[in-house]
Structure 1
Amino acid sequence: MEKISRTPFQGIGNIIRFNWHFYVLFLLLLVVGLLFTQYTLTRLMLCGAAIATLLSLLISWYIYDRSDLYTLQWLDDLELRPRHIVNIHAGFDETSHLLAHKYPEASLQVFDFYNPEMHTEVSIERARKRYAPYAGTKVISTAAVPLGPASVDMVFLLLAAHEIRDPVERATFFKELHRCLTANGRIVVLEHLRDVPNFIAYTIGFLHFFSGATWRKTFASAQLQVENEEKITPFLSAYILQKNGTAS
């Protein structure tokens, strides 16, 4: 089967493209500050901020363009042969075609839970305008996943679930996924965490992510057990969930 490839700077290019307002504003502040500020401390702080921004971009390039993230090889240890896969995203889908390639014998449904009134990231709005959705993608509500009980072998939430900012909405959503999952099914949740590595990478931007404890509380509230937690680079954590348990 033909290998699916990404361009060398596709990931970092999307980050800059979808968040260009931040980088333009920062560059303007940096230039104005260095030109018109006479205070050494202020200049040092501006230079420190510039170094932190460059470090963030470098780490993002490593995660999204140089790591095994999009090869999906980290899923090989599951050794499952799913018949019915659901991939759920928050408005920007880079993985459905990869999952279809990895599991060619499985049926694939793709759901998009993005709601512009509740999920207000401007970067997602820009991504949606630039990239067409995967064929057959259905827009859904996090409160009502349109699947029958125990009908899905694997559910993928790859870098998406953190966009559900409200804890009640998030818990309700995972209860819906529990309802849809077969007895031996799995849910794969991939996320950045609010931890030290991501603080080093993104400074205060790491507050956009949730802590490992928050995720485990969400999973437990939906009676989902963490079967395994795997690191995909020091900056990404993959939770493999199964039914009928409490988070370990």
Structure 2
Amino acid sequence: MEKRRRKFQGVVNILSFNRHFYSIGLIGLGFVVLSQYLFTYNHSLKWFLVIAFTYGLVAPLVVSAYVYDFSRYYDFNWIDKLNLRESVGSKIVNMNAGFDETSYILKEKFQESNLQVFDFYDEMKHTEQAIKIARKVSSVYPNTNIINTSKIPLEDTCVDFLFLLSAAHEIRSNKEKITFFKECSRVLKNSGKILVVEHLRDVPNFLAFSIGFTHFFSKKTWKNVFEKANLKLKEEIKFTPFVSVFVLENNNKN
């Protein structure tokens, strides 16, 4: 069964999953506008606050539309540049944190492969409000296996390609991230690759998401996690200025 994304679904997702943030932002903006009738204060300050609130509300929507609706990210044609050689029976794993927009698309793209999907979301550890909301509307790929980040129920060195598409940052603890990526390393073939797609805690994402960029992690943090998990960063590809694709291999690759 193929799942097609709706037009502007990226923007709709941002609004839906972060409605608590937008509610607070709109209340704040409304207070700034109305306060001029209740208090006397500098007009420059008033306009600064109006612009700041408006920017904080609008910029994430514009960037999300650019990245997820107009850049053709979900066509997954960018994967072709990574030279992932599929063969009949290749084993592909797609990991998610309870919100899955990609498994049906991956299955369509890698039709000769055996795709397994794992959901590592733990409501006691992964406490972000947005992901809790997203889980309520997410489609579930058939036979998705619910797992713990400390154990992937697969044999050693059996996976050709492992995908973590905008999912790994939901693991907030660095210790847990390292444990999880050690498991990813364990199940990965010596010839296999892990693809990690993430926004970073950097200047472009600060300009896009303001304080919301703290939901992401820095490149330095990710490199430290990969290194401690015995994974080698083969290359980093920028998909738009806001998204990085990390291509990982096992350090013990022959």
Measured against the shorter chain, the TM-score band is over 0.9
Which residue number corresponds to residue 204 of structure 2?
197
Report how far residue 28 of structure 1 moved: 1.5
**Runs of 5+ in structure 1 lacking a partner?**
none
Q: How many residues align?
A: 245
User: Segments of 4+ in structure 1 off by > 6 A?
Assistant: none
The aligned runs of 1:1-248 (5 Å cut-off) are 5-37=4-36, 38-39=40-41, 40=43, 41-79=45-83, 80-81=85-86, 83-244=90-251
**The residue matched to 1:44 in structure 2 has which SS?**
helix
**The residue matched to 2:52 in structure 1 has which SS?**
helix
Q: How well do the aligned residues superpose, as a CA RMSD in angstroms? A: 1.7
Report how far residue 58 of structure 1 moved: 0.7
Report how far residue 245 of structure 1 moved: 5.8
**Counterparts in 2 of 1:96 and 1:139: CA distance versus 1, 3 Å:** same
Residues of 1 paired with 2:16 and 2:153: CA distance? 33
Residues of 2 paired with 1:74 and 1:181: CA distance? 22
Letter in 1 for 2:19: W
Residues of 2 paired with 1:90 and 1:4: CA distance? 19
Residues of 2 paired with 1:181 and 1:222: CA distance? 12
User: What's the % identity of the aligned pairs?
Assistant: 45
**TM score, norm. by length of structure 1:** 0.94
Q: Are the counterparts in 1 of residues 101 and 139 from structure 2 also a CA contact under 8 Å?
A: no
**The residue matched to 1:194 in structure 2 has which SS?**
coil
**Runs of 5+ in structure 2 lacking a partner?**
none
Q: Are the counterparts in 2 of residues 34 and 43 from structure 1 also a CA contact under 8 Å?
A: no
Q: Are the counterparts in 2 of residues 220 and 245 from structure 1 also a CA contact under 8 Å?
A: no
Q: Are the counterparts in 2 of residues 193 and 212 from structure 1 also a CA contact under 8 Å?
A: yes
Q: Are the counterparts in 1 of residues 25 and 53 from structure 2 also a CA contact under 8 Å?
A: no
**Counterparts in 2 of 1:72 and 1:13: CA distance versus 1, 3 Å:** same
Residues of 1 paired with 2:252 and 2:245: CA distance? 18
Residues of 2 paired with 1:190 and 1:17: CA distance? 22
Q: Are the counterparts in 2 of residues 194 and 211 from structure 1 also a CA contact under 8 Å?
A: yes
